[in-house]
Structure 1
C-alpha cells in the first residue's frame, strides 16, 4: 500500500511519518520510505546522523537511470529523453515491486536499520544552491512520481512518502497515487487550513484522506479539531518524551514509545489496511493517464518535441499480478 504524509510546514508530518515507518517495521512488513519534501529530514528522523543523511543518493540526480530502466522495451516510448514525470507504463515497461532488487533501488535506496527491522530509504535530494533560479523542486519530485506510476505493491507491503509541505503536492498528479493520505494538522486555524485545501482539491479524485491531530494538549484542542475536520479526524497525538529524545539523537527502544501514541499508530495501520479492499486499479490507471495527457498538453509536448499522448497504451491497466517485462 502507498501512504502519503502531508501537512503544513512544521506540523510534524516528518516526525509522524517516521513513527509510522518504525511501527510498520516492528510488524515485519516490508517498507520503502521516501523523503519527497524539499526539506530533507526523514533520514534524521529515522536515526541517521548528519553525514549519513547527506550521503543518501538523490533520486532527482538519477532520473536518466530511472527513466531508462522503467521504459524497458515499451514501443510507445521512443527514448528515455521523451519520458516525463507523468509517463504511464504500458506493454513492455518495467514495473517496480516493493520486495525485489533492481537497478533503481540499487542506485537510489539505502537500508536503514531500525530496532524493529530494516527499511529501504529513498530521497529526492535537497534543493541545492545550483538549483536556485534555474530549477523547480517538482522536477526532483518527478522521479518519485515516475516510480509510483510503475509500482505494483501488494497487501502487507508499504511505500510511505513524506510529501512536500502545504498544497504543493497538487502541482502534479502525485496526490492521486496513494491508497491513504494522512494529513497532519495542529489544533490551530493555520493547522487546518491545509486540510481544507487538500479536501477541496482531492474531492473529485477519490483520495482517501484522514487527519492526524498533532500537538494536541487537551480537550479544547480535541474539540477544535473535531469541529473543523469532522469525521476525517482519525487519531490525535500529544506530547512524547520518546519523540523529544529522538529529536536529540538519542531515541530509546521503540517499544518504549508511550502507549497512547502506539495505539494511534495501530489505528493508522488499521485505516491504511482497510483501503486495500477498495483498490480500483482501473481508476488508478485512468487518473495516471488523465494527468499525463494534461501535462503533455501543458508543457511536455513543447519540451520534448513529441506528442506524448502517444505514450498512452489504451489497453494497459496496472494490476497487482501484471508480469514485469524482461
Structure 2
C-alpha cells in the first residue's frame, strides 16, 4: 500500500508520519531473510523525516538526494521501453509500459542501493533540500518528480508499505503526485487554520476520487475532538493526544515505539487497519498516471523535450503485480 501524510505546516505531519512508519516497522512481518516490507520517502521541502526517525544530524545531512540523481533514476526505469526515445525525453510523469523496469517494495535494484539508506531499521530516501543555488532558478517539484517517477513504476503487494511525507498544505497538487496513494492521511490540529488546509485539500482531492482520512493531532481533551468532528465530519478517522513520548523524542531522548501511550498506539493501529482494507485498483492508478502525463505534456513537457510525449503512453499496459497487456 502507498500512503502519504499531508497537512498544514507545523501540524505535526512529519512527526506523525515517523510514528506510523516506526509502528509499521515494528509490526509488519518481513519476508524470510529479507528487509522489512517498508519504504519511507521524504518529499517535503523541509527535510525532517530522517531526524524524526532517529537519525543524527550528521546522518540526516549525509543522505543522498533523489533530486540529484534524476538522470540515473530515469535511465534505470526506462529499461528498453521502445516508446521512450531517450533518458532525456523522460519527465516526472512518464508512465511505465512494456519494457520499463518496475520496482517492488522488498526487491533489490540499483536505485535502492544508490539512494536509500537504513534509518532505525527503515529504508529511507529523501528528495533533498531546496538549496540556496536553487533560489530563483529552480522549482522544488523538479526534485519531487523523482518520487513521482518511483511511485509510477512501483508495484506493492499485500502487507507491503510505502510511506511518503509530502509537502505542507495543498502544494502537492502542482503535479499528479497526490493521486499516487492508496491512503491519504491529513494531519489536522483542532484550529481553524489547520481545518482550512483540510478544506482546500479535500476540495481538490475528491475531484479525482482520492479519499482523505483526517488524523487529529495535538488533541488535549474532548472539546478538541468535538471541534474536529464539527469541521471535518466523517473524515475524522482518529486522533493523537498530547504525548510525553513525542516530547521526549523531540528533546533528544527517543524510546522504543512500544513505549508510546496505549491510546496513541491504538490510533496508529487503526490507521494501519484502514490502509490494509483498501482495495487496490491498478486500472485507475494507471489511468490517472496517463491522464496527468498528458496534461503535463501539453502544458510544458512537449516544448521542453521537443517531441510529443503522448507517444510515451502504452495504451494497452496496466500496472500491477502481473502487469497486464490488453
TM range (shorter): over 0.9
After superposition, residues 74-89 of structure 1 pair within 5 angstroms as 74-89=81-96
Deviation at 1:250, TM superposition (A): 1.2
Residue 28 (structure 1) shift? 3.1
Deviation at 1:253, TM superposition (A): 2.0
| Alpha-carbon shift at residue 302 of structure 1 (Å) | 0.4
| Matched-pair contact (CA < 8 Å) for 1:18–1:46 | yes
Inter-partner Cα distance in structure 2 for 1:261 and 1:23: 11
Summarize deviations over 1:157-188 as a string: whole Å, max 9, x none.
00000000000010000000000000000001
1:110 paired to 2:117: yes
Measured on the aligned residues, the alpha-carbon RMSD in Å equals 0.9
How far apart, CA to CA, are the structure 2 residues paired with 1:311 and 1:217? 51
1:90 to 61, 85, 97: 97
Per-residue CA deviation, residues 18-64 of structure 1 (Å, 9 max, x unaligned), is 00000001113411000000000000000001010000100000100
TM-score, normalization by structure 2: 0.96
Task: Indicate which of 55, 59, 63 corresponds to 1:48.
Answer: 55
Deviation at 1:322, TM superposition (A): 2.9
Does the 8 Å contact 2:28/2:159 carry over to 1? no
1:220-271 CA-to-partner distances (Å, cap 9, x unmatched) read 1111100100010000111111101111121122211100100000000001
CA distance in 1, matches of 2:197, 2:130: 23
Deviates more, 1:14-23 or 1:197-206: 197-206
| Structure 2 residue corresponding to 1:146, chosen from 133, 138, 149 | 149
Alignment of 1:61 onto 2:68: yes
- What are the equivalent positions in structure 2 for 1:1-326 lying under 5 Å apart? 1-29=1-29, 30-113=37-120, 118-275=121-278, 278-322=279-323
Runs of 4+ in 1 over 2 A off after TM superposition: none
CA distance in 1, matches of 2:256, 2:3: 24
**Structure 1: distance between partners of 2:243 and 2:93:** 39
**Partners of 2:317 and 2:323 within 8 A in 1:** no
Partner deviation per Cα, 1:76-131 (whole Å, 9 max, x = no partner): 00011000000000000000100111011111100123xxxx21000000000110
Residues of 2 paired with 1:235 and 1:28: CA distance? 21
For residues 249 and 322 of structure 1, the distance between their equivalents in structure 2, rounded to whole angstroms, comes to 45
Query: How many Å separate the matches in 2 of 1:254 and 1:183?
Result: 22
Q: Would you say the 8 A contact 2:5–2:187 is kept in 1?
A: yes
Q: Please tell me whether the aligned partners of residues 45 and 167 of structure 2 are also in contact (alpha carbons under 8 angstroms).
A: yes
- Identify the residue that residue 32 of structure 2 maps to in structure 1: none
SS across alignment from 1:215: strand
